[in-house]
Amino acid sequence: MTFLDQEYREIITKAVCGKGRRFVEATHSITPSHKPSSILGCWVINHLYHAKKKSKDVVEVNGSYDINIWYSYNDNTKTEVVTERITYCDHVKLSVKDDHCINDDYDVVAKVLQQPNCLECKITNQGNKIEVEVEREFLVQIIGDTKVYVKVNPVGHHHNDDDEDWDFDVNDEELDEINPDFLNKDKD
Protein backbone atom coordinates (compact mmCIF):
# COMPACT_ATOMS: atom_id res chain seq x y z
CA MET A 1 0.00 0.00 0.00
CA THR A 2 1.64 3.20 -1.12
CA PHE A 3 0.02 6.49 -0.28
CA LEU A 4 2.74 8.54 -1.93
CA ASP A 5 1.86 7.52 -5.46
CA GLN A 6 -1.89 7.86 -4.73
CA GLU A 7 -2.84 4.24 -5.44
CA TYR A 8 -4.95 3.96 -2.26
CA ARG A 9 -7.25 6.25 -0.32
CA GLU A 10 -8.31 6.16 3.32
CA ILE A 11 -12.05 6.50 3.76
CA ILE A 12 -13.62 7.02 7.17
CA THR A 13 -17.03 5.38 7.41
CA LYS A 14 -19.54 3.95 9.88
CA ALA A 15 -19.23 0.20 10.34
CA VAL A 16 -20.18 -2.56 12.77
CA CYS A 17 -17.29 -2.58 15.26
CA GLY A 18 -18.74 -5.11 17.68
CA LYS A 19 -21.46 -7.74 17.81
CA GLY A 20 -22.95 -10.01 20.45
CA ARG A 21 -25.91 -12.26 21.10
CA ARG A 22 -27.59 -13.43 24.29
CA PHE A 23 -30.40 -15.89 24.99
CA VAL A 24 -32.00 -15.75 28.45
CA GLU A 25 -34.49 -17.97 30.24
CA ALA A 26 -35.87 -16.37 33.40
CA THR A 27 -38.33 -17.63 36.01
CA HIS A 28 -40.69 -15.17 37.69
CA SER A 29 -42.79 -15.85 40.78
CA ILE A 30 -46.14 -14.06 40.82
CA THR A 31 -48.54 -13.87 43.75
CA PRO A 32 -52.20 -13.61 42.68
CA SER A 33 -54.86 -12.14 44.97
CA HIS A 34 -56.59 -15.57 45.32
CA LYS A 35 -55.22 -19.09 45.72
CA PRO A 36 -55.21 -20.45 42.13
CA SER A 37 -56.98 -23.69 41.21
CA SER A 38 -55.71 -23.89 37.61
CA ILE A 39 -53.93 -21.83 34.96
CA LEU A 40 -56.10 -20.92 31.98
CA GLY A 41 -53.59 -18.86 30.00
CA CYS A 42 -50.43 -16.75 30.17
CA TRP A 43 -49.27 -13.93 27.88
CA VAL A 44 -46.21 -11.72 27.82
CA ILE A 45 -46.95 -8.29 26.31
CA ASN A 46 -45.81 -4.64 26.24
CA HIS A 47 -42.08 -5.33 25.85
CA LEU A 48 -39.90 -2.20 26.03
CA TYR A 49 -36.09 -2.09 26.06
CA HIS A 50 -33.06 0.17 25.72
CA ALA A 51 -29.42 -0.78 25.09
CA LYS A 52 -26.22 1.06 26.02
CA LYS A 53 -22.53 0.22 26.00
CA LYS A 54 -21.52 -0.72 29.53
CA SER A 55 -17.82 -1.47 29.05
CA LYS A 56 -15.35 -2.28 26.27
CA ASP A 57 -16.76 -5.80 25.88
CA VAL A 58 -20.36 -5.58 27.20
CA VAL A 59 -23.65 -4.02 26.12
CA GLU A 60 -26.35 -3.65 28.77
CA VAL A 61 -29.98 -4.17 27.71
CA ASN A 62 -32.53 -2.82 30.20
CA GLY A 63 -36.16 -3.65 29.62
CA SER A 64 -39.58 -4.51 30.93
CA TYR A 65 -42.65 -6.49 29.98
CA ASP A 66 -46.04 -7.38 31.44
CA ILE A 67 -46.98 -10.93 32.35
CA ASN A 68 -50.74 -11.54 32.25
CA ILE A 69 -52.00 -14.77 33.81
CA TRP A 70 -55.60 -15.89 33.52
CA TYR A 71 -56.34 -18.33 36.31
CA SER A 72 -59.28 -19.93 38.09
CA TYR A 73 -59.78 -20.01 41.85
CA ASN A 74 -62.37 -21.06 44.43
CA ASP A 75 -62.35 -24.68 43.11
CA ASN A 76 -62.52 -23.54 39.47
CA THR A 77 -65.73 -21.54 39.98
CA LYS A 78 -64.28 -18.04 39.38
CA THR A 79 -61.58 -16.56 37.17
CA GLU A 80 -59.29 -13.57 37.30
CA VAL A 81 -56.36 -12.08 35.39
CA VAL A 82 -53.29 -11.05 37.36
CA THR A 83 -50.81 -8.67 35.69
CA GLU A 84 -47.28 -8.05 36.85
CA ARG A 85 -44.67 -5.71 35.35
CA ILE A 86 -41.24 -7.38 35.14
CA THR A 87 -37.99 -5.44 34.70
CA TYR A 88 -34.69 -6.96 33.62
CA CYS A 89 -31.07 -6.09 32.91
CA ASP A 90 -29.20 -8.38 30.50
CA HIS A 91 -25.46 -8.08 29.90
CA VAL A 92 -24.54 -9.07 26.34
CA LYS A 93 -20.87 -9.90 25.85
CA LEU A 94 -19.45 -8.85 22.50
CA SER A 95 -18.21 -11.95 20.69
CA VAL A 96 -16.97 -10.00 17.66
CA LYS A 97 -14.87 -6.86 18.20
CA ASP A 98 -12.96 -4.60 15.84
CA ASP A 99 -10.25 -2.79 17.75
CA HIS A 100 -9.60 -0.44 14.82
CA CYS A 101 -12.48 1.93 15.55
CA ILE A 102 -11.26 5.52 15.47
CA ASN A 103 -12.99 6.93 18.56
CA ASP A 104 -15.28 6.00 21.43
CA ASP A 105 -18.37 7.68 19.95
CA TYR A 106 -20.48 4.57 19.34
CA ASP A 107 -24.08 3.92 18.39
CA VAL A 108 -25.60 0.87 20.07
CA VAL A 109 -28.25 -1.08 18.18
CA ALA A 110 -30.22 -3.88 19.83
CA LYS A 111 -32.49 -6.18 17.86
CA VAL A 112 -34.90 -8.63 19.46
CA LEU A 113 -34.40 -12.09 17.98
CA GLN A 114 -36.94 -13.68 20.37
CA GLN A 115 -39.59 -11.49 21.98
CA PRO A 116 -40.22 -12.38 25.63
CA ASN A 117 -42.39 -15.46 25.46
CA CYS A 118 -43.98 -17.74 28.06
CA LEU A 119 -42.45 -21.22 28.02
CA GLU A 120 -44.26 -22.58 31.07
CA CYS A 121 -46.74 -21.29 33.63
CA LYS A 122 -47.55 -23.43 36.68
CA ILE A 123 -48.83 -23.25 40.23
CA THR A 124 -46.03 -23.80 42.76
CA ASN A 125 -46.02 -26.64 45.28
CA GLN A 126 -47.19 -24.31 48.05
CA GLY A 127 -50.21 -23.42 45.90
CA ASN A 128 -50.18 -19.67 46.62
CA LYS A 129 -47.87 -18.52 43.84
CA ILE A 130 -47.61 -18.91 40.08
CA GLU A 131 -44.25 -19.56 38.46
CA VAL A 132 -43.70 -18.30 34.92
CA GLU A 133 -40.72 -19.26 32.76
CA VAL A 134 -39.95 -16.70 30.05
CA GLU A 135 -37.41 -16.73 27.21
CA ARG A 136 -35.92 -13.78 25.31
CA GLU A 137 -32.99 -13.22 22.94
CA PHE A 138 -31.11 -10.16 21.69
CA LEU A 139 -28.56 -9.34 19.02
CA VAL A 140 -26.55 -6.19 19.74
CA GLN A 141 -24.25 -4.23 17.46
CA ILE A 142 -21.78 -1.45 18.17
CA ILE A 143 -21.52 0.96 15.23
CA GLY A 144 -18.55 3.30 15.09
CA ASP A 145 -16.18 5.13 12.80
CA THR A 146 -13.47 3.08 11.13
CA LYS A 147 -11.06 3.42 8.20
CA VAL A 148 -11.22 1.46 4.99
CA TYR A 149 -8.61 1.58 2.26
CA VAL A 150 -9.66 1.61 -1.39
CA LYS A 151 -7.55 1.28 -4.47
CA VAL A 152 -7.68 4.19 -6.88
CA ASN A 153 -7.71 3.53 -10.61
CA PRO A 154 -4.40 5.11 -11.72
CA VAL A 155 -5.64 5.76 -15.28
CA GLY A 156 -8.66 7.63 -13.98
CA HIS A 157 -11.13 6.09 -16.44
CA HIS A 158 -14.47 4.93 -15.22
CA HIS A 159 -16.38 1.90 -16.38
CA ASN A 160 -19.39 2.63 -18.56
CA ASP A 161 -22.49 0.59 -17.75
CA ASP A 162 -24.71 1.95 -20.52
CA ASP A 163 -27.14 -0.42 -22.20
CA GLU A 164 -25.33 0.06 -25.53
CA ASP A 165 -22.40 -1.92 -24.12
CA TRP A 166 -24.58 -5.03 -23.91
CA ASP A 167 -25.36 -7.29 -26.82
CA PHE A 168 -29.13 -7.80 -26.88
CA ASP A 169 -29.28 -9.17 -30.42
CA VAL A 170 -30.91 -12.56 -30.91
CA ASN A 171 -28.87 -15.06 -32.90
CA ASP A 172 -30.18 -17.76 -35.28
CA GLU A 173 -29.68 -20.55 -32.75
CA GLU A 174 -31.86 -18.74 -30.19
CA LEU A 175 -34.54 -18.11 -32.81
CA ASP A 176 -34.71 -21.82 -33.63
CA GLU A 177 -35.42 -22.62 -29.96
CA ILE A 178 -38.52 -20.37 -29.79
CA ASN A 179 -41.80 -22.25 -29.72
CA PRO A 180 -44.29 -20.19 -31.81
CA ASP A 181 -47.27 -21.96 -30.18
CA PHE A 182 -46.32 -21.20 -26.58
CA LEU A 183 -49.43 -18.99 -26.14
CA ASN A 184 -51.90 -21.46 -27.67
CA LYS A 185 -53.77 -23.49 -25.13
CA ASP A 186 -55.07 -26.99 -25.69
CA LYS A 187 -58.84 -26.86 -26.10
CA ASP A 188 -59.81 -30.48 -25.58
Residue 158 lies inside a defined structural domain of this protein? no
Residue 128 lies inside a defined structural domain of this protein? yes
Q: What is the pLDDT of residue 174?
A: 72
Residue 56 lies inside a defined structural domain of this protein? yes
Q: Is 0.85 surpassed by the pTM of this model?
A: no
Mind listing the pLDDT tens digit for each residue in 30-81? 999 999 999 999 999 999 999 998 888 899 999 999 999 999 999 999 999 9
Residue 182 lies inside a defined structural domain of this protein? no
Say whether pLDDT at 160 is over 70: no
Mind listing the pLDDT tens digit for each residue in 130-153? 999 999 999 999 998 888 888 887
Residue 85 lies inside a defined structural domain of this protein? yes
Output the furthest CA–CA distance in the chain (Å, rounded): 87
Average pLDDT, the chain: 86
Q: What is the pLDDT of residue 81?
A: 97
Higher pLDDT, 181 or 79: 79
Residue 1 lies inside a defined structural domain of this protein? no
**136 within 8 A of 105, measured Cβ to Cβ:** no
- The percentage of the chain sitting over the pLDDT mark of 70, rounded to a whole number, equals 84
**What is the domain extent for residue 144?**
14-151
How many domains are there within the chain?
Answer: 1
Residue 38 lies inside a defined structural domain of this protein? yes
Comparing 10-14, 94-98, 140-144, 168-172, the range with the smallest average pLDDT is 168-172
Q: What is the pLDDT of residue 10?
A: 87
Residue 26 lies inside a defined structural domain of this protein? yes
